């Protein structure tokens, strides 16, 4: 965290504005037939113009060869070393649905699932029940007190929900019950450290009661849990950067991550145009905006090259609304790569462009993996993009005499 | 300091010679009309030839986005991590005027200033009084003993001077009296840590006496102080690199910095030709020369693009004197960027060229920001240039079995 300490010591508030646009899973790999990646295939006149007027490069979210999850990928972009700043899945989901997590609470992610008569998991997602059905079932499980610990259960989306344990001496060092495969039974929770035995016992009792409560509710007749974790004590972006930051994201997890680093959460819709309308509406109220679009990552996970291309084109198409606001600094990048040919996150570095009046332009005239390789930012850790954005917004004073 | 430990373990003395030429504030930004930086605009046949025969790159003095002061910028070039090796302004100024600082002394930087009848600062630089007048006034303040502490006062240049407190149990943890603005009174010195109360009290008494002594000497009728600090205990360049190093610099601060890392200070004049004459004169006496030229930085701070171009051309023009000495390694770079359009230091990476018989040449044939981007050294922390210079001078043995 040495670097954050330096930034903290030289950051100052100014009226200048920074927009960090994250196209989730932006980096790709070439289509076998054309030899061009999704971003290279897409027609992106606005991104290309920003690239031409700005400076480009390639970011390593965690390090060469490391495929990041969504949390490390984003934390790095916010300037938080993703190895030092670790957050569990349960906390991420809980803050993502605005659950008021208290210090000491233990949060876990839950799935409704289907089990057969022998108790073996047949569907880890309970036939993707509706969010409405999910909410009904959560009410059945919510509010129990087991061994003095209160347990909150809240729906997230479809088959996903959160469990929050509240009370004295809870520990997050508890194993998952989710076996991550079908045809086997859910696992008993095990204490991963001696101090976690009580929490594991309570979690096992909770799962046992849920099995009884849900018996008649197939396909959602059982639950699977994972990612037991506690809310971390982190410095906020306001403390580090002297910024007034806000997030515009339609997916709960990204709002939750942003909340963990102290961003205000703005209401927005699910479309790209909704995001830009929200930005425009609140543009005068904040000086840093994290604008998140999920579609390119989802298409990559589905292995859908063409849809990734279309999503990128749709974002490019809406960019004038951002450009016309004339932020002092625009950064466009991704939190990791999600090449359609790999159908999942990957380790490949992510294209980045930084546009500002004070950047030192390079020769790049196209926003693409191959062009960014020759950009003026070079290849750098994703944690460096915030210091660069801050510098280009003239929000950092000199370091040292 | 891990890296310095490695270098120290493999460095060996040899007759080969290294010249590190620092063009202060070398990096720039394009002129709005031409799209070319100062270095790109300047006609630099000698630097271009060295670049063509050597290997080029871009240096980050502290890190991406971080604008360095002069001290961190230079310490990085000497191989000292500028975050670990911190030095206060008072110490820097004191060693820069050859004041024989002892361990335990506390040094501060002083300004003569002008205050009105109400004690409010009207000119933080006392109408830039002459260095001669400064020396007269320093004599009036020098040599007092307050509460058992002896206080030395010595002129630096124009309105700037140094104060050195010598005696038992002094602490550098004292706030500045300089309010950094006009229209307000100077501030009382405050102890920043409990152990600094006595030092703060003595500093306040000294300032009060100075006010009385200077009452009739308007425009220099008061003083402002800042940068209380103590001389650090650092390993010298001789200890780390087995070098016999010398500095050739006309500005006191750079001589002072060099002295802190153990360089011999050579007398020289203020011009570029003076510097090269000094190098030639002492060439046989040392094996490492830090040759510093200030003009390009000063022109950048003044926002004078054309003068920066001329200064760079003047340096290039004098380079044959250096090249004809045939040093084994020549490094040309800057301690940071000072683009004329920003009128100050900036965070942009700094061009570097390294010429030696043993470098692996790249395709760069011009010494410029844009050409260096594609150089064989890539983009690297400035602390790496000394190991590279040492290696190219064949002064480093193998690491590990």
- Kindly report, residue by residue over A217-243, the tens digit of the pLDDT: 999 999 999 999 999 989 999 999 999
Q: Is B266 exposed, middle or buried (0-12, 13-18, 19+ CB in 10 A)?
A: buried
Query: Distance between CA atoms of B70 and B86, rounded to whole angstroms?
Result: 12
What is the residue extent of each domain of chain B? 2-87+233-392, 92-229
Nearest by CB: B88 against A391, A397, A401: A401
Chain A / chain B CB contacts < 8 angstroms: 85
The ipTM, to two decimals, is 0.89
Mean pLDDT for each consecutive 10-residue tract of chain B (401 residues)?
Answer: 84 98 98 97 98 98 95 97 92 90 94 96 94 97 96 95 97 95 95 96 97 96 96 95 97 90 95 97 98 96 97 97 98 98 97 98 98 96 97 96 82
Q: Output the pLDDT for position B382.
A: 97
Contact B68 A388 (CB under 8 A): no
User: Across residues A169-190, what is the average pLDDT?
Assistant: 96
Question: Tokens standing for B19?
Answer: 């010249």
Q: Output the pLDDT for position B2.
A: 53
User: Across residues A322-343, what is the average pLDDT?
Assistant: 98
Q: Name the CA dihedral angle for B333, B335, B337, B342, rounded to a multiple of 10 degrees.
A: -150
pLDDT of A2 > 80? The answer is no
Query: Distance between CA atoms of B155 and B99, rounded to whole angstroms?
Result: 10
Contact B63 A387 (CB under 8 A): yes
Q: Output the pLDDT for position B252.
A: 84
Inter-axis angle of helices B305-318 and B45-53, to 10 degrees?
60
Contact A396 B347 (CB under 8 A): yes
Q: Are B130 and B140 in contact (CB under 8 A)?
A: no
Predicted TM-score (pTM) of the model is: 0.90
Q: Are A149 and A165 in contact (CB under 8 A)?
A: yes
Contact B70 A401 (CB under 8 A): yes
Q: Are A293 and A335 in contact (CB under 8 A)?
A: no
Mutate to test the interface with A, among B66, B230, B381 (most CBs of A within 10 A): B66
* A2-87+233-392: CATH, from 3.40.50.620, 3.40.720.10, 1.20.1440.80, 1.10.1670.40: 3.40.720.10
Question: CA distances (Å), A260 to each of A5, A164, A233, A236, B331, in order?
Answer: 18, 17, 9, 8, 46
Question: Tokens standing for B121?
Answer: 């600062």
* Residue numbers in B near A77 (CB within 8 A): none
Q: Output the pLDDT for position A252.
A: 84
Contact B89 A2 (CB under 8 A): no
Q: Output the pLDDT for position B380.
A: 95
Only one residue has tokens 């000063």, namely: B298
Q: Output the pLDDT for position B401.
A: 82
Q: Are B159 and B222 in contact (CB under 8 A)?
A: no
What part of B 354-373 touches A (C-beta under 8 Å)? 369-370, 373
Q: Where are the beta strands (DSSP E) in B116-221?
A: 121-123, 144-146, 149-157, 160-166
Predicted confidence band at A1 (pLDDT cuts at 50, 70, 90)?
Answer: very low
Nearest by CB: A388 against B30, B58, B64: B64
Contact B369 A391 (CB under 8 A): no
Q: Output the pLDDT for position B1.
A: 43
Contact B227 A401 (CB under 8 A): yes
Query: Distance between CA atoms of B310 and A178, rounded to whole angstroms?
Result: 70
Other beta carbons within 10 Å of A42: 22
């Amino acid at each position: 965290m040495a670097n954050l300490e330096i930034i903290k010591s030289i950051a100052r508030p100014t009226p200048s504005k920074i927009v960090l646009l994250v196209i989730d899973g932006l980096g790709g790999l070439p289509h076998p037939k054309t030899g061009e990646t999704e971003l290279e295939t897409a027609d992106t006149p606005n991104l290309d113009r920003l690239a031409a007027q700005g400076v480009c490069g390639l970011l390593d979210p965690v390090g060469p060869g490391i495929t990041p999850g969504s949390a490390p990928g984003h934390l790095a972009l916010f300037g938080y070393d993703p190895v030092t700043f670790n957050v569990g899945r349960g906390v991420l989901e809980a803050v993502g649905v605005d659950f008021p997590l208290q210090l000491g609470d233990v949060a876990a992610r839950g799935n409704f699932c289907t089990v057969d008569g022998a108790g073996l998991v047949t569907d880890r997602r309970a036939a993707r029940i509706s969010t409405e059905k999910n909410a009904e079932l959560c009410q059945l499980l919510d509010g129990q007190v087991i061994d003095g610990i209160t347990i909150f259960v809240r729906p997230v989306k479809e088959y996903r929900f959160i469990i929050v344990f509240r009370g004295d001496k809870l520990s997050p060092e508890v194993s998952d019950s989710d076996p991550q495969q079908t045809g086997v039974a859910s696992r008993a929770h095990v204490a991963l450290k001696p101090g976690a035995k009580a929490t594991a016992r309570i979690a096992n009792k909770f799962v046992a009661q849920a099995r009884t409560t849900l018996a008649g509710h197939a396909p959602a007749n059982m639950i699977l849990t994972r990612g037991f974790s506690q809310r971390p004590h982190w410095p906020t972006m306001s403390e580090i950067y002297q910024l007034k930051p806000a997030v515009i994201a339609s997916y709960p997890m990204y709002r939750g991550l942003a909340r963990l680093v102290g961003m205000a959460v703005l209401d927005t819709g699910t479309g790209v145009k909704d995001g830009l309308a929200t930005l425009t509406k609140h543009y005068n109220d904040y000086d840093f905006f994290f604008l998140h679009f999920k579609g390119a990552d989802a298409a990559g996970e589905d292995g859908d090259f063409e849809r990734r291309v279309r999503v990128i084109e749709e974002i490019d198409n809406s960019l004038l609304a951002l450009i016309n606001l004339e932020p002092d600094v625009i950064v466009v990048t991704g939190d990791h790569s999600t090449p359609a040919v790999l159908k999942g996150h990957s380790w490949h570095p992510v294209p980045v462009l930084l546009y500002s009046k004070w950047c030192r332009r390079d020769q790049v005239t196209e926003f693409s993996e191959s062009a960014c390789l020759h950009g003026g930012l070079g290849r750098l850790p994703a944690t460096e993009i915030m210091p660069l954005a801050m510098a280009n917004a003239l929000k950092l004073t000199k370091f040292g005499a």
